[in-house]
Amino acid sequence: MRILTDYLFIVAGVGVLLSILLIWQIVSITNVLPSTIFPSAYSVVLSFFSQVENGSVILAVIYTLSRLFEGYLFAAAIGIVAGISIGLNRLVNRSLDPLVQFLRPMPSVVLIPLAILYFGLVDSVIILIVTYASLWPILINTIDGVRSIDPLVIETANQLRITGLKRLRKIILPAAAPFIVSGLRVSLGIAWIVAVTAEMIGGIVSNGVGVSIFYYLNSGNLAPMYGAIIAVAIFAYFLNRILLVTQYRLMPWVARSSRMLDHEA
C-alpha cells in the first residue's frame, strides 16, 4: 500500500517534468513566441534523438567532459591532500585561512582570458582554469571535514597508538568523507560552468557543447541547439546523482547535508 503511494509520487514528479514539455509544445503551437526562437518541443525531441543517433551531441559532450574531468580530478587530488594536511595542522590552517578566504570568492571564470594571454588558445588552458575553479570547494570542505573530527576521537587514537597512514585510513578519511563528497558535488557544478563558458567565449577550442550550442545559435538552427542543452542536462543530472547517492551512503542519518552547504562555492 505504501509502495503504491511512493510510485504515485514518482509518477507525479516525472509528470511535472513532462508537463513542462507539454506547455512548451502548446506555446510553440500557438505561436506565442515566434518559432524562430522557440521550435516546438516535438521537433526538439526529434532532433535530440537524431543527434544522439549520429553521435554528434554525445561527441560534443564527451569533449567537454574530458577537459572537465581532467581539471576536476586534478583539483580533487590536490584539494583532498592539501585539505587534509591543512586541516590537521592548526597553525597552517590559521595562516592560510585569510588567503583562502580572499581567493575563494573570486569568480574564477575571469582567469580564462589571463590563461589565454599566457598560454595561447589551447585545450589545456581550460583544464587549468577548471582545476583552479574546482579546487576551492573541495579544499575548504575537506579542511572543514577534518577539523570537524571530535578531538576526543583524536585523543583516543593517540591512546590506542593509531598513527600515520592507519589513522588516515581508519579515522580521518571516514570522518571527513561526507564533507569531501559534498565539496566534490559543489565543485562539479562550478567545473561545468567554467568548462562550458570557456568554450563559449570563442576561439579557444573548436569542439565541446559550448561550441556546438553557439554554432547552432549563430546558424539559426535552433532545434539541435536545444537538443544539445538537453544532452548537457542529462549528463549533469546523472553525474550529480552519482555523487548524491555516494553522499547518502556515507551519511545515511542526514536526509540532505544542508549544513555542509555553509561553504559552497
Partner 1 sequence: MKLEYLYGVLPIAVILVVWQLLPQLGIVPQQFLPKVSSVFYEIYTSALLGQGRYQLGANYLFTIERTLLGFALAAIIAVPLGIVIGSSRSVNRILEPTLEVFRPLPPVVLIPFFILIFGINDSMYVAYIAFGAVWPILINTIDGVREIEPLYLDLAKCLMMNKVRSFFRIRLPATSPYIVSGMRVSLLLALLVTVAIEMVTGHNGLGFSVVYAQEESDATTLYSVIVLLAITGYVFDLLFVQAENRFMKWYKLSQNLT
Torsion of CA 116, 120, 122, 125, to 10 degrees: -30
Q: Which among 44-52, 77-85, 170-178, 206-214 is the span making contact with partner 1, rule CB under 8 A?
A: 206-214
Told to check if 138 binds partner 1 by CB under 8 A, we report no
Q: Which among 40-48, 113-121, 140-148, 169-177 is the span making contact with partner 1, rule CB under 8 A?
A: 113-121
Classify residue 259 as exposed, middle or buried by CB count within 10 Å of its CB (0-12, 13-18, 19+).
exposed
To partner 1, the closest distance from the beta carbon of 160 in angstroms equals: 26
Residues in the chain: 265
To partner 1, the closest distance from the beta carbon of 135 in angstroms equals: 15
Buried b (16+ CB within 10 A) or exposed e, 33-56: eeeeebbbbebbbebbeebeeeeb
Window 219-258: residues binding partner 1 (CB under 8 A)? 222, 225-226, 228-229, 232-233, 236-237, 239-241, 255-256, 258
Q: Which among 11-19, 42-50, 80-88, 163-171 is the span making contact with partner 1, rule CB under 8 A?
A: 11-19
Cell digits of residue 40: 516546438
Q: Which is nearer to partner 1, 76 or 86 (CB)?
A: 86
CA distances 85 to 15, 184, 187, Å, are 47, 18, 20
Told to check if 49 binds partner 1 by CB under 8 A, we report no
Neighbouring C-beta atoms of residue 125, cutoff 10 Å: 23
Told to check if 21 binds partner 1 by CB under 8 A, we report no
Instruction: Map residue 175 onto helix, strand or coil.
Output: helix
Q: Which among 14-22, 75-83, 145-153, 156-164 is the span making contact with partner 1, rule CB under 8 A?
A: 14-22
Cell digits of residue 140: 575548504
Buried b (16+ CB within 10 A) or exposed e, 165-182: eebeeebbeebbbbbbbb
Nearest to 76 by CA among 191, 193, 233, 235: 191
CA angle 214, 218, 221 (to 5 degrees): 95
Among 29, 114, 160, 245, binds partner 1 (CB under 8 A): 114
Q: Which is nearer to partner 1, 78 or 236 (CB)?
A: 236
To partner 1, the closest distance from the beta carbon of 158 in angstroms equals: 23
Among 80, 209, 211, 223, binds partner 1 (CB under 8 A): 209
CA distances 132 to 43, 76, 259, Å, are 39, 10, 24
Q: Which is nearer to partner 1, 166 or 256 (CB)?
A: 256
Window 28-47: residues binding partner 1 (CB under 8 A)? 33, 37-38
Told to check if 188 binds partner 1 by CB under 8 A, we report yes
Binding site residues, partner 1, CB under 8 A = 9-10, 12-17, 20, 33, 37-38, 91, 94-99, 101-114, 116-118, 188-190, 192-193, 196-197, 200-201, 209-210, 213-214, 217, 222, 225-226, 228-229, 232-233, 236-237, 239-241, 255-256, 258, 261-262, 264-265
